[in-house]
Structure 1
C-alpha cells in the first residue's frame, strides 16, 4: 500500500550548478502536454493498482521546480491530482518552490488546490555564494515570499540550506544560519554539498577549478548547525532535518521508514508492491509511453528480503529515533540482533551507535560519519 505520492516536475528557468535531478530548461518544452501526460499516468496507475491508492497520507511536488509552472499550469496539475488521487486522507501536501518564482497568484492557486506545506530552496543568504551555485533569487525574495505565503494561509513552511559550498567560510555559514533562524519557521533542512556526476560542479571539480572547504571545516559547519538548531528549540529528527514539534516532514519519513510510495513523472522513482521502479527520464520517451496507454517504467527491481532488511537499517538510522526493535521484528519476524549481531556490537563499541530496549540509533559522534555506519549493514544476499 502506498503511503505517499511523489510527482516530478522536471522544468527549471535556471539550472543550478550542483543539481543532478532529471530537469530541463523551461523554454521551448512541451509543458502543457507533459501535465496532461502526468494525468494519464495517474489514471493508468490508479486503475491498475486501485488498492494501493485508497489511503494516501502525503503528496510531494518536486523537481526540477514545480513553481516554474504558470498559475494556469499549476491549476491544471492540481485539478488532475484531485481527479485521480483521493485527497480526503492526505494530511501533508508539499510543493517545492523557488523564492523568486512564488507570485501571489501561484501561492493562491497552490493553497486553493490543497497544498498546505512549502519547501523553499534558499540554500544560502550570501549573495556571492548564491551566484556561485547558480541560484537567481535574492534575500529580499525570501523575506517577501515567506510574508506573502503566511498572509495567504501557509503556516507549514520549510527552507533548505547548504554548507560545504565552494569557497564558503564558517563566518558565511553562521551568518546564513542566523538569518534563516531569525525567520522563526517550523522546519529547516540543511545539506552538505555533494558533487554529483553530470553537473556543472562535477566538470569544474574534474578540471581542478572547484575549491571546496576541507572535511574538517565541513564537519565543524555541521556541528554548528546542530548546536544552533538545538538552541532555537528545533528538534533534529533526521541527520539533515530539524523541526518544531508536529512539523516533521511526513513525506520524507515515508522514505526513512522504508514504506511504499508511488512516483509519477519523467525520471520519478517509486516503491510499490515490493518493487522499486524508475520512469523514463527523457520527456519524449516518458510521454510516448503514457500516450500509448503504458506505465512509463524503464527499470524495476523486486526487493529481496535481505535488501529490505538492509534498507530498513540504513534508512531508519537516518532518523534520530533510529530503528525500533518492535517495528523491525514485526516486519522481519526476528530481532535485528539476530541478523546483525556483530555489526551492532562493534558500532556500539566504537561509540557510533546507541543500543537499548527501544532500538538502535546513531550517537552524536555517529551522525558525522553516518554513511560509514550505514555501509556496515550492507550484506551480501
Structure 2
C-alpha cells in the first residue's frame, strides 16, 4: 500500500450535484469525528506495522478546508506525527479545498503542515453556473488565490472543472478552460456532470426542471477540452485528467493502476490485503463503529476474476492503457480465453488498439469508455 485517503465529510454548503459522503458542518460533532478518524488510522497502522514508503496522502471530502483553524491544525499535526514518518521522499500530499477557503493563514497552515499539493474545486467561471451548482465562491476568487498559494510555496496546483452543466454553453466552457489554464496551474481534472440520486439536481431532473446540454453538445465540450489542454501543455494521461509532465496525480494513479490503498473516514472506501472495504457513512454511526474497533460496513474479498476485470477497466482509463505482459506477470497466468475474445471483438469495433503489448482505448473508444469497460464484466472464466 502506497496511498492513504482521509475523508472529511463536512461542508459549509451542500452542492446540488454532489452525492459524496458529506453533511452540513453546523452542529456536527466535528472534534469527536476527528478523534475517530485518528483512531481508525491508528487501528489500521497497528494491523500493518511494516507500512512505509507512502507515496500519496490525500485529504478529501466533503470540504477539508471547512474545518476551523484549530481543527485543521489538529488534523495536520496528527498526520505529521503519524503518517509523514512513513512517507517516501517523493510524497504527494494533497488537500482538497474550495477557492473561498484559501486565505493567507489557511494556505500557510497547510504548507507548514506538510501539504505540497492543492486540489481546488472551481468547477466553472460563470456566476450563474456557480450559483446553479450551489457553489459559494465567485468566478474571480481563484485569480486571487493562486498568487497567494505560489507565494506560500505551493508548486503543484490542480483545479477541478465540470462540463455538461445545466444551462452551460460551449462558449461558457471554452471560457472556463481559458480562465483555468491562464493561471499556470499544473493539473486539471475535468468531469462531465452525472446526475446522481439523492441530490438536488436529481430531484430537479425528475421534475423536468434541469436544462441539460444534449449528448452532442457534451461530446463537443469534451473534444474541446482535449484540444485546449494539449495546446496549453497539459497532457491527457487519463480520461478526465490532464497534467504538465511530472505532475500526474500519484494518488489517482494508485486507483487506476489497481493498487491497494488505505481509506479512512465516514463512507470512505479502501482496498487492503485483497479486500475492498466501505466504511459506515452516517457521522454518529461511524464514530460509534470506530470506538467499537470496526469502522467497516462492508468487507469484500476480491476474487481473482474481479481483480482481472478491475485491472482492465481501471487501467484502460489511462492514456498509457494496460500492459498485457504486466497483466500476465501480475496474475501469474495467461489472459483467460474470454478476455482475449472480448479484446479481439473490441479491436474489431475499433474501440481498442494494441501496440507493443499496450492495450489502449482508441479515439473512437474513448467517448465510449463505459461500453468498453462493461464488456469485461461477468465473463465466464475457467
The TM-score bracket by the shorter chain reads: over 0.9
- Superposition pairs of residues 185-200 of structure 1, within 5 angstroms: 185-200=185-200
157-166 or 352-361: which moved more? 352-361
What displacement does 1:169 show?
0.8
Query: Quick check: 1:17–1:134 contact (8 Å CA) kept in 2?
Result: yes
Q: Does the 8 Å contact 1:337/1:344 carry over to 2? A: no
What are the equivalent positions in structure 2 for 1:77-156 lying under 5 Å apart? 77-85=75-83, 86-89=85-88, 91-156=91-156
TM-score under structure 1 length normalisation = 0.97
Correspondence 1:74 to 2:82: no
Equivalences for residues 172-321 of structure 1 within 5 A: 172-292=172-292, 294-321=293-320
Task: Give 1:18 shift.
Answer: 0.2
**Cα deviation 1:299-343 (Å, max 9, x = unaligned):** 110000000000000000000000012221111123437451221
Counterpart position of 2:331: 332
1:336 and 1:375 mapped to 2: Cα distance? Answer: 17
Task: State how far apart, in whole Å, the 2-side matches of 1:43 and 1:309 are.
Answer: 31
Instruction: Give the secondary structure class of the aligned counterpart of 2:99.
Output: coil
Alignment match, 1:169:
169
> Given that residues 351 and 362 in structure 2 are in contact (C-alpha distance below 8 angstroms), is that contact kept between their aligned partners in structure 1?
yes
1: distance between equivalents of 2:342 and 2:143?
Answer: 47
Bigger shift: residues 367-376 or 135-144:
135-144
Could you tell me whether the CA contact under 8 Å between 2:55 and 2:87 is conserved in 1?
A: no
SS of the equivalent of 2:87 reads coil
Task: Report the Cα distance in structure 2 between the residues aligned to 1:184 and 1:229, rounded to whole angstroms.
Answer: 12
> In terms of mean alpha carbon deviation, does 191-200 or 135-144 score higher?
135-144
2-structure distance, mates of 1:282, 1:32: 15
Q: How far apart, CA to CA, are the structure 1 residues paired with 2:363 and 2:249? A: 21
Residue 365 of structure 2: SS of its match in structure 1? helix
After superposition, the C-alpha distances for 1:38-72 in whole angstroms (9 at most, x for unaligned) are: 11111111112223x22211000000000101121
Distance in 2 (alpha carbons) for counterparts of 1:337 and 1:303: 17
Which structure 2 residue ranges, 5 or more long, are not aligned?
A: none
The 2-side partners of 1:101 and 1:279 are apart by 27
Alpha-carbon offset, residue 84 of structure 1: 2.4
Aligned to 2:4: 5
Residues 187-232 of structure 1: CA deviation (Å, up to 9, x unaligned): 1010000000111100111111111000111001000101111111
1:64 alignment partner in structure 2: 62
Shift of 1:181: 1.4
Q: Distance in 2 between matches of 1:83 and 1:298?
A: 28
Shift of 1:346: 1.3
> Any gaps of 5 or more consecutive residues in structure 1?
none
